[in-house]
């Protein structure tokens, strides 16, 4: 009979060391894979081609009659809703944003040029989040009805001089060579489930970028509609707490207000 020869102490030590090395290698591989997956997850959220938009917002090429039921602001066609007020925001001498005020909520709409094959909403979210957290605010990134959005608690100074917070939602969609950002405030930010009409206004907005060359992130300039009915005294300086929500894309001032009559 032949028995299995017992290994010497040195051989056993060598085997144990080899096993430990193999375990360490496997652990390192798992860590590398996890880091790779984390990086890939980051890439999935940033610098991707624009996703399909089956429910809007729309490019001018996708709508037969963009001015039907919408206010023509040149670079944006904004849906008209009964009882709404529409005000424009200016940067320098240019009109670059429109804000729809509906009862106790509002959504600011602003369109920018973007690369042809690459979206910018992922990068813009990161910049907005960084700016607000540096101010001492709180940011939650969630997947909402309009896709990935930021729900922010922004520090503000109240009229009595004390500190407080304002709740704001930043939403955005990448389109063909443009990016549309919305800033929802008021009850639409405090109770997101009650913001359905504001979200629909955002979805049904039509963007007209134009064919001319534009640098990425350049604002798409708007114009006043020809039949605008201005509210007296509508041109005012927007307060600093509101203008900071531009997310680093330029400070805005409040321009003429337009009352939609339907």
pLDDT 10s digits, 215-259: 999 999 999 887 665 554 443 333 333 333 444 444 445 554 544
Please return the burial class of 240, using the count of CB atoms within 10 Å of its CB with bins 0-12, 13-18 and 19+.
exposed
Mean pLDDT (the chain) is 78
pTM: 0.74
Q: How many CA atoms lie within 13 A of 234 on its CB side?
A: 17
Please return the burial class of 74, using the count of CB atoms within 10 Å of its CB with bins 0-12, 13-18 and 19+.
middle
pLDDT digits (tens, 9 = 90+) for 156-178: 988 888 989 999 999 999 999 99
pLDDT of residue 92: 85
All residues at 6 or more sequence positions from 171 whose CB lies less than 8 Å from its CB, including other chains: 144, 146, 147, 149, 181, 182, 183, 184, 199, 202
Whether 96 has a pLDDT exceeding 70, the answer reads: yes
| Pick from 31-35, 45-49, 95-99, 149-153: least confident | 31-35
CATH number of 58-259: 3.40.1000
Find out whether the peptide bond into 38 is cis, omega within 30 degrees of 0. Answer: no
Contact indicator for 156, 181 with CB cutoff of 8 Å: no
Distances (CA, A) of 127 to 63, 86, 238: 32, 27, 22
Whether 51 has a pLDDT exceeding 70, the answer reads: yes
Averaged over 82-106, what is the pLDDT?
A: 91
Q: Pull the structure tokens for residue 120.
A: 């910018």
């Amino acid at each position: 009979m032949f028995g299995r020869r017992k290994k010497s102490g040195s051989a056993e030590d060598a085997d144990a060391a080899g096993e430990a090395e193999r375990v360490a290698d496997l652990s390192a591989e798992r860590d590398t894979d996890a880091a790779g997956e984390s990086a890939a997850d980051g890439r999935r959220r940033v610098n991707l081609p624009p996703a399909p938009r089956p429910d809007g917002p729309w490019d001018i090429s996708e709508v037969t009659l963009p001015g039907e039921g919408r206010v023509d602001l040149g670079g944006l066609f904004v849906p008209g809703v009964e009882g709404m007020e529409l005000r424009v925001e200016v940067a320098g001498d240019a009109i670059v944003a429109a804000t729809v005020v509906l009862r106790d909520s509002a959504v600011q709409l602003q369109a920018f040029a973007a690369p042809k094959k690459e979206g910018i909403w992922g990068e813009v979210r990161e910049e907005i989040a960084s700016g607000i957290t540096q101010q001492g605010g709180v940011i939650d990134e969630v997947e909402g009805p309009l896709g990935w959005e930021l729900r922010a608690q922004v520090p503000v100074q109240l009229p009595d001089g004390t500190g407080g917070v304002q709740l704001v939602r930043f939403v955005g969609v990448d389109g063909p060579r443009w990016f549309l950002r919305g800033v929802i405030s008021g009850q639409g930010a405090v109770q997101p489930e009650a913001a359905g009409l504001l979200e629909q206004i955002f979805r049904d907005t039509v963007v007209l970028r134009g064919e001319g060359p534009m640098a990425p992130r350049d604002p798409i300039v708007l114009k006043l509609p020809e039949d605008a009915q201005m509210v007296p005294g509508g041109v005012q300086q927007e307060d600093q707490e509101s203008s900071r929500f531009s997310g680093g894309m330029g400070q805005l001032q409040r321009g003429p207000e337009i009352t939609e009559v339907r």
